[in-house]
Amino acid sequence: MSGFLKHILFTCFIILCLNTELVFSFNSNKFLTIKSQPVLEEKNTIFHNNEHIITNQTISEIKKSQILLVIIITFFVCGFLFLIYHLKKVRIINQQLEKYSKENEFLIRETNHRVNNNLQLISLLISETLRKKQSEENKKDFIRLQAKVDSIALLHRYLYTSNNVNTVNLKKYLTEVKNNFSPVEYEQKLKVNLEIDTIEIQSDYAMYIGLLITELVINSIKHAFDKTQEKIIQIKLIKEEKGVIFDYQDNGKNAIDKTIQPKLVNQLCQQLLVNSIIETQNGFHLNFKLNL
């Protein structure tokens, strides 16, 4: 009986001990829960605050990006509109310039046409005067004058018929100048050799070169040749980089080893802004380089 009671008491003690641990455990869990609840609430509050701060920062950055994008788009639109306005203005100016250029070309062509007609009339008057003159010396003077007038008239006729009123094809122009001497070549038994590269040159330069060749040929016919000798004139215009080499030479015996300084030839060379060299070892020889 006492053993049974002991057994019951031992069992109750064990249950009591177990209940005490369970109560302690429960109380401990409850304590931890109660204790951790403010911490969790504090963390949640911090998270929400941080989230609110991040959200405000993101919204602020988005607004700044939008404002910057609007500024960039506005800048490009304004630049595009300005470019269109500028191109339109340039096109209008170019159209006006083209119109003025065409009007100017027409006026220049008309001027060249009238000058050519007037010079041809002068040439006809000189020819009529030549038929009436008896003196040989007077005839030569008028022939010289007529050749120069014809040379200038050829240039104006060339400019009138050409598409470009500012430049001249020197080879074509000087070939026509040389053809003007065909009657004189036949009469004087003269041979004129022309060697010219294809050169586009300003009309003013072309006129001076045409007059220069005309004057040189006339001087050679008048002064250089002996009556019994073969008469040859060689004219070369060779194109070089940034310039033209002009070379004129006759084989006249009367000019050998003489000092010759033709006044009109020197004046024409001055107009061309060249330094000419004259030699007379084997006849009259003049050369220079014309810078273009």
The pLDDT tens digits for 253-275 are 998 989 898 988 998 999 899 99
pLDDT band at 251 (very low <50, low <70, confident <90, very high): very high
Considering 31-45, 63-77, 269-283, the range whose residues carry the highest mean pLDDT is 269-283
State residue 6's pLDDT score. Answer: 47
What's this model's pTM, rounded to 2 decimal places?
0.58
pLDDT beyond 70 at 43: no
Bridge partners (DSSP) of residue 22 are none
Bridge partners (DSSP) of residue 10 are none
Considering 9-13, 103-107, 228-232, the range whose residues carry the highest mean pLDDT is 228-232
pLDDT band at 138 (very low <50, low <70, confident <90, very high): low
pLDDT beyond 70 at 123: no
For 116-134, what is the mean pLDDT?
64
- Least Cα distance to 196 among 210, 185, 183, 182 occurs for 210
**Alpha carbons 204 and 272: distance in angstroms, whole number:** 9
Q: Which residue has the higher pLDDT, 151 or 117?
A: 151
pLDDT digits (tens, 9 = 90+) for 166-209: 788 899 889 988 888 888 888 888 999 999 999 999 888 988 89
Q: Which residue has the higher pLDDT, 258 or 60?
A: 258
State residue 234's pLDDT score. Answer: 96
pLDDT digits (tens, 9 = 90+) for 63-107: 778 788 888 888 888 888 888 888 888 888 887 777 766 666 655
pLDDT beyond 70 at 60: yes
**Alpha carbons 80 and 101: distance in angstroms, whole number:** 31
**Average pLDDT score over the chain:** 75
What DSSP designation does 223 have? I
State residue 81's pLDDT score. Answer: 83
pLDDT beyond 80 at 2: no
State residue 70's pLDDT score. Answer: 83
State residue 15's pLDDT score. Answer: 46
CA atoms within 13 A on the CB side of 36: 6
**Alpha carbons 215 and 223: distance in angstroms, whole number:** 12
Considering 2-6, 28-32, 41-45, 67-71, the range whose residues carry the highest mean pLDDT is 67-71
pLDDT beyond 90 at 290: yes
Chain centre to alpha carbon of residue 161: 27
pLDDT band at 12 (very low <50, low <70, confident <90, very high): very low
Asked whether the beta carbons of 120 and 149 are under 8 A apart, the reply is no
State residue 52's pLDDT score. Answer: 54
% of the chain residues with pLDDT over 70: 63
Tell me the longest C-alpha to C-alpha distance in the chain.
Answer: 192
State residue 185's pLDDT score. Answer: 85
